Amino acid sequence: MAYASKKEEESGLSSYYNNKTTIIQEARVFNESPISPRKCRALLTRIVYLLYIGETLSSQEATTLFFGTTKLFQHKDSALRQMVYLAIKELATNAEDVIMVTSSIMKDMQPNSEVIYRPNAIRALCRIIDPSMAQGVERFFKAAIVDRTPSISSAALVSSYHLFPHAKDVVKRWVNEAQEAVNAKSSPSFFGGSSGGYLNFGSSGASNTGYQPIPSTSYIAQYHALGLLYLIRRQDRMAVTKMIQQLGGGKSGAGTTLKNPMALCMLIRYAAKIIDEDPNVQRQMLDLLDGWLRHKSDMVNFEAARAICEMKKVPTAQLSKAISVLQLFLSSPKPVLKFAATRTLAALALTHPSSVATCNVDLENLIADSNRSVATYAITTLLKTGNEASVDRLMKQITGFMSEISDEFKVIIVDAIRSLCLKFPTKHVSMLSFLAGVLRDEGGYDFKRAVVEAMFDMIKYIADCKEQALSHLCEFIEDCEFTKLSVRILHLLGMEGPKSPQPTKYIRFIYNRVVLENATVRAAAVSSLAKFGVNAIDMALRRSIGVLLNRCLDDVDDEVRDRAAMYLKVMKERPLADVYVKEESVFSLAALESKLVAYISDPVAASQPFDVTSIPKVSRAQLAAESIRPSTLDTIAMPVARADSTPPPPTAADTQSTYVQQLAEVPELAEYGPVLNSSTKAAQLTESETEYQVMCVKHIFKEHIVFQFNVTNTLPDTILEQVSVIMQPQADCGLTEDFIIPVPTLTTSTSPGIVYVSFSRDNPEEYATGSFQCALKFVSKELDPSTGEPEDEGYEDEYQVEDVELAAGGDYIIPSYASFSSEWDRLRTGASSTETFSLAAMESIKAACNSIIEILNMEPLGGTETPTSASVHTLQLSGLIAGGGGKVLVRCRMTFAKGEGVTLELGVRAEQESACALVVSAVCG
């Protein structure tokens, strides 16, 4: 099909020619007699092109075209038949009753059918047949897989690969044929002599069945066969390991039967995956990888070197060999090899900079490479491996080509410099000058953000450059076109500007934003000005800030006016300033989310105002650590995460939300009200290798405590019925059992099942603690292997699990950040208690600190969890009591003497007397 010219496109001829309605109308050409192969091929090409560009056909339209296409089976033209199969394959997904064409397709894929379109028939049949029919065509696929013609063998192997998810048991039986295809010697190709020219285009309508195969040198069928073999065996690690060793060809790699480089690359990837899963086979696999480093194919050499570089705990000797191979690629005339090598070395430099340093001379030669992608990776790697003496020289070279590369690579360079300036802080002058220069250049948001982030880090970690960096940022916001960046810089100026020796020099830049910018930036500028006013020691400066804020009261935007009014009030009243401007703590986002979810899902609680006092706080440093953004430098060119790698663990917010959702689905617990606190981590009550596994989560309500037991049955041939947990509390624990909600049936597929045991708190004002003996009780029944149904008769059984502890820390006390000195003074008039303990078993003050933090589950403040003296120390802790118990602070004064252990003076201050008693009892216990 010829592409439409520009004139035709302008006139709309192309859109008409490839219009869906036009094509469907022209499909009557399929019904003409005699059939015109040329016209039909052209129309089929247009149909396939239409589907390729994303046009969708309704089921009726696809079915009409599909069965119109099948009428062309009566014509024997080879090129037409190939086009028919291509169209059938694409239309089969939407058309109905496609299975009716199966017999016509199977005629063309008979083993004795020496036609050029037999591979096309095999591929089409894979799309047409129902998975239940796979067994019926097994004979044809087996014969095709071992066929001497590579096009037929490859078509059968790829079709088997796609058929595997739907008919696993059938395809698994073809493993011997796939193995034979992997070991196949040089075989003929379907490109041979025929009477109609290349693929018989332009031939007459006569039958064209004879063709002379010529030998193939690509061995592509080995690549496809290896993929199918791995798909069949991937659940059996030992079988995959054996396959790799058999096909690897020994230490030198010379004995391998694999001739196709792509197949060898795939085998290397399988080997790398096995090493990652089972470190015990690393030595054997490394021998194979070492042999492949000397293969005649560059592709195989690189894949083996990359696999070694990405390996964990790789021996230095092996790593050196891989780096030597990559070093040779750095001087290759092929750009793709240079790019691959520099990218791999850039990733390796993150973990082994000293090993990569041996390539620095070759990398420096690539800085001037015409391919700027190669040059960027070379520079990035040099920045990671270079020493302090080479920084200035590298900076000059970088400046030369920054204008020639895209923003994407500029970000990589900037992030490399960001890490370098933290590595060599004495070189901050040249690097800051470079960043200030590129900040003035043209660029998109991502590039400018990377530069600003780099300057932020320099301000944070290199005190000497703070003043200069803030000045550069002030100049940048004068011309900044990105609102987000302006807001962030204004926030930073508000945080760092008041602490500088001359805070007044920044105020002009900030107030200019109030005059010249949009409402979002103006509001941020008002907040920044207010911070200067609140933190200013000079009263004249405070009055000047007040004048500027007063002018903002006439702003057209209500957000700006409201902020100005609020901050004017705050500046006049010191207590308000401490809360709204100087407060260093913020709410824990995970706890806030879970509390809000519980609040809106409980109609009773939603009728009352939301209580923020029950939400724990964290310091801004902790919040930043939780949400820290990895540098692009740390992620660029890193190995791609494997598809089956372990997913990240759920966050605290995810866990709490899951608990709230699970409890909401239990009608017996609907009247209990909102959950005050849930265990942050489930307690394991059994060993991980046992046949029945039990985990416990505790939920604290106002008047009840609910124990949630997650029970897993790992025996596939056993079903458990009436699964419950019998809990025996210790005497006088202050709890009375209400009911048990058992799991009716539990199998391996339905595990874990949840058993709930509810207790009432005898006195909701007190905090019940104690230990509970637990036993798993159930009726065990065997499953009939033939029917899968459980037996009629079972037997009752009990399974003892570990005791469950209901304790102060973790169940009632929630860690919460606070400013210790001010909060300690505030609680001076509240409940307090002081006790002295002798901790003779403690071998150091550090051990005592760790033990107290673990028992109380409270937030250590001001770095006091790390003692600075071996003999005297004061530990400061902060927390919240679940259920409105308020704030509680603990001061632990400790002394240590050898032979006597640690002497502890425990001081507790809280908003309620019961909270003090809870903390003291937890330490006493």
Could you tell me if 4 and 14 are in contact, meaning their C-beta atoms sit under 8 angstroms apart?
yes
Identify any residues that bridge with 720 across adjacent strands, giving them in sequence order.
746, 780
Position 194 scores a pLDDT of 36
pLDDT confidence tier of residue 249, bands split at 50, 70 and 90:
confident
pLDDT exceeds 60 at position 626: no
The count of other CB atoms within 10 Å of the CB of residue 277 is 13
Decide which of 718 and 613 is more confident: 718
The CA dihedral of 575, 576, 578, 580, to the nearest 10 degrees, is 170
Q: CA 709, CA 699: separation in Å to the nearest integer?
A: 11
Decide which of 583 and 691 is more confident: 691
Which of these, 721, 771, 717, lies nearest to 746 by C-alpha position?
A: 721
Position 788 scores a pLDDT of 65
Nearby residues of 127 by Cβ (< 8 Å), 6 or more positions away: 88, 89, 92, 93
Position 650 scores a pLDDT of 57
- Average pLDDT on 436-448 reads 85
- pLDDT exceeding 90 applies to what percent of the chain? 5
| Amino acid identity, position 518 | N
Question: Phi then psi for 48, rounded to 5 degrees?
Answer: -65, -40
Position 302 scores a pLDDT of 92
Position 692 scores a pLDDT of 84
Distance (Å) of CA 167 to CA 258, 572, 611, 841: 28, 77, 56, 64
Would you call 139 exposed, middle or buried from its count of C-beta atoms within 10 A (0-12, 13-18, 19+)? Answer: exposed
- 437-451, 495-509, 627-641: segment of lowest average pLDDT: 627-641
Q: What angle separates helix 282-292 from helix 261-277, to the nearest 10 degrees?
A: 160
Q: CA 868, CA 796: separation in Å to the nearest integer?
A: 58
What would the pLDDT profile of 6-60 be if each residue is shown by its tens digit?
Answer: 444 444 445 546 778 888 888 888 888 888 888 888 888 888 888 888 888 888 8
Could you tell me if 369 and 377 are in contact, meaning their C-beta atoms sit under 8 angstroms apart?
no
H or E element in which residue 481 lies: none
Could you tell me if 623 and 584 are in contact, meaning their C-beta atoms sit under 8 angstroms apart?
no
Q: CA 79, CA 307: separation in Å to the nearest integer?
A: 43
User: Helices H, strands E: what count in the chain?
Assistant: 41, 20
Where are the strands (E) in 5-142, listed by range? Answer: none
pLDDT exceeds 50 at position 205: no
∠ CA 423-352-328, rounded to 5°? 120
Q: What is the 3-state secondary structure (H, E, C) of 3-43?
A: CCCHHHHHHCHHHHHCCHHHHHHHHHHHHCCCCCHHHHHHH
Position 251 scores a pLDDT of 63
User: Beta strand 692-700 with 704-713: parallel, antiparallel or unpaired?
Assistant: antiparallel
Decide which of 444 and 368 is more confident: 444
Identify any residues that bridge with 771 across adjacent strands, giving them in sequence order.
805
pLDDT exceeds 60 at position 186: no
Q: CA 868, CA 642: separation in Å to the nearest integer?
A: 44
Q: CA 191, CA 218: separation in Å to the nearest integer?
A: 13
pLDDT confidence tier of residue 163, bands split at 50, 70 and 90:
confident
User: Beta strand 886-897 with 872-881: parallel, antiparallel or unpaired?
Assistant: antiparallel
What would the pLDDT profile of 112-121 be if each residue is shown by its tens digit?
Answer: 666 678 888 8
What would the pLDDT profile of 797-846 be if each residue is shown by its tens digit?
Answer: 888 888 888 887 777 888 877 777 777 887 888 888 888 888 888 888 88
What is the DSSP secondary-structure string of 169-227? HHHHTTHHHHHHHHT--S-EEEEEE-TTSGGGTT--SS-----EEEE-SS-HHHHHHHH
Q: CA 16, CA 29: separation in Å to the nearest integer?
A: 18
pLDDT exceeds 80 at position 199: no
Model pTM? 0.56
- 67-71, 474-478, 690-694, 879-883: segment of lowest average pLDDT: 879-883
Identify any residues that bridge with 903 across adjacent strands, giving them in sequence order.
838, 895
What is the DSSP secondary-structure string of 513-531? HHHHS-HHHHHHHHHHHHH
Decide which of 318 and 250 is more confident: 318
Q: CA 809, CA 733: separation in Å to the nearest integer?
A: 16
Could you tell me if 742 and 755 are in contact, meaning their C-beta atoms sit under 8 angstroms apart?
yes
CA 902 from chain centre, in angstroms, equals 45
Position 14 scores a pLDDT of 53
What would the pLDDT profile of 698-743 be if each residue is shown by its tens digit?
Answer: 888 888 888 988 888 887 778 888 888 888 887 777 788 888 888 8
Q: CA 522, CA 516: separation in Å to the nearest integer?
A: 8
Q: CA 870, CA 514: separation in Å to the nearest integer?
A: 54
pLDDT confidence tier of residue 614, bands split at 50, 70 and 90:
low
- Average pLDDT on 256-273 reads 87
Could you tell me if 224 and 157 are in contact, meaning their C-beta atoms sit under 8 angstroms apart?
yes
Which of these, 889, 888, 885, lies nearest to 875 by C-alpha position?
A: 889
Q: CA 726, CA 637: separation in Å to the nearest integer?
A: 54
Would you call 778 exposed, middle or buried from its count of C-beta atoms within 10 A (0-12, 13-18, 19+)? Answer: buried
What would the pLDDT profile of 671-705 be if each residue is shown by its tens digit?
Answer: 887 777 787 778 888 887 778 888 888 888 888 88
Q: Which residue has the tokens 């050029």?
A: 116
pLDDT confidence tier of residue 506, bands split at 50, 70 and 90:
confident
Position 91 scores a pLDDT of 84
Phi-psi region of 601 (alpha: psi -120 to 50; beta: other; left: phi over 0): alpha
∠ CA 630-634-640, rounded to 5°? 100
pLDDT exceeds 60 at position 275: yes
User: Beta strand 718-729 with 743-746: parallel, antiparallel or unpaired?
Assistant: antiparallel
What would the pLDDT profile of 291-350 be if each residue is shown by its tens digit?
Answer: 888 888 899 999 999 999 888 888 888 888 899 999 999 988 899 999 999 999 988 888
DSSP letter, residue 629? P
pLDDT exceeds 80 at position 611: no
The radius of gyration of the chain's CA atoms, rounded to the nearest angstrom, is: 37
Q: CA 394, CA 345: separation in Å to the nearest integer?
A: 18
Distance (Å) of CA 615 to CA 594, 595, 621: 10, 8, 18
Q: What token pair was written down for 721?
A: 């019925």
pLDDT exceeds 70 at position 617: no
Q: CA 509, CA 493: separation in Å to the nearest integer?
A: 10
Three-state DSSP class for residue 742: coil
Position 9 scores a pLDDT of 45
pLDDT confidence tier of residue 98, bands split at 50, 70 and 90:
confident
∠ CA 860-866-868, rounded to 5°? 130
pLDDT confidence tier of residue 925, bands split at 50, 70 and 90:
low
Q: What angle separates helix 138-145 from helix 175-182, to the nearest 10 degrees?
A: 20
Q: CA 692, CA 711: separation in Å to the nearest integer?
A: 7
Could you tell me if 794 and 841 are in contact, meaning their C-beta atoms sit under 8 angstroms apart?
no
Position 218 scores a pLDDT of 77
Position 153 scores a pLDDT of 87
Would you call 282 exposed, middle or buried from its count of C-beta atoms within 10 A (0-12, 13-18, 19+)? Answer: buried
Phi-psi region of 732 (alpha: psi -120 to 50; beta: other; left: phi over 0): left
